[in-house]
Amino acid sequence: MRIDVTPILNQAGSSMPFDLVEEIKAPDDDLKIIGPVTARGVATSLGKEIYVQAHVTGSTELICSRCLTPFTKPFDVDCEGKFTESGTEQEESEEDAVEVFPLDGASCVLDDMIGHEIILSLPMKPLCDPDCKGLCPVCGSNLNEGECDCRKAEDDISPFGRKLLEAMEERSKKNGRPKET
């Protein structure tokens, strides 16, 4: 996704709106962007630098952290960046914590700026559905597709657990307490 900023490049204070719908290259191999991305915003000249603000929408494919099923999640993010010839900022003040990207001739390539903001907006543990049941801990079946034939882990009492229950029953009998059911 590229903006040609030739008309405003050396005219500090000049700006130009943009409205783009294109496929973009994800900055990370783990991020899969599906379909075209819409970016609307303004590019403003700061002299030899360009400041870009954009509102970006689209969809990404994620893997559910419970059932490991791929699913599509829409994103709707605001992003900003400064584009310079060197691609690095000489002085960064605390107030100006805007990420800096290289200016490609007289163009701003927005893919990295947008990709970084998408990554920051993604959930740490993506879920295909808030009520996702996940995988069976015994056989690995997707429990969203139906129950499996495995015995439930909570139904099984380990030998240690059985001994503990027996000891508790014996103690209750000695102390005159009725058995709890």
Tens place of pLDDT for every residue, the chain, 181 residues? Answer: 888 888 888 888 889 999 999 888 777 777 888 889 999 999 999 888 899 999 999 999 999 999 999 999 999 999 999 998 875 554 444 456 788 998 888 888 888 899 889 988 999 999 999 999 999 888 888 888 988 887 655 556 777 777 888 888 888 877 766 555 5
- Domain assignment of residue 38, yes or no: yes
- Count the domains in the chain: 1
Spatial neighbors of 164 by CB under 8 A, at least 6 apart, are: none
Residue from 16, 18, 9, 91 nearest 50 by CA: 9
Report if residue 173 sits inside a domain: no
Q: Is residue 56 situated within a structural domain?
A: yes
Is 167 within the bounds of a domain?
Answer: no
Q: What's the confidence (pLDDT) of residue 74? A: 94
- pLDDT value at residue 93: 43
Question: CA 67 from chain center: how many Å?
Answer: 17
**pLDDT for residue 177:** 61
Q: How much is the pLDDT for 48?
A: 83
Which domain covers residue 23, as residue numbers? 2-121
Residue 91 inside a domain? The answer is yes
Non-local (6+) Cβ contacts of 41 within 8 A are: 17, 18, 52, 53, 54, 55
Neighbours of 139 (CB within 10 A): 9
Residues 68 and 87: their CA atoms lie apart, in Å, by: 38
List beta partners, residue 75.
58
Does 8 fall in a domain?
Answer: yes
Within-domain flag for 153: no
DSSP letter, residue 96: -
Q: What per-residue confidence (pLDDT) applies to 151?
A: 60
Does any domain span residue 152?
no
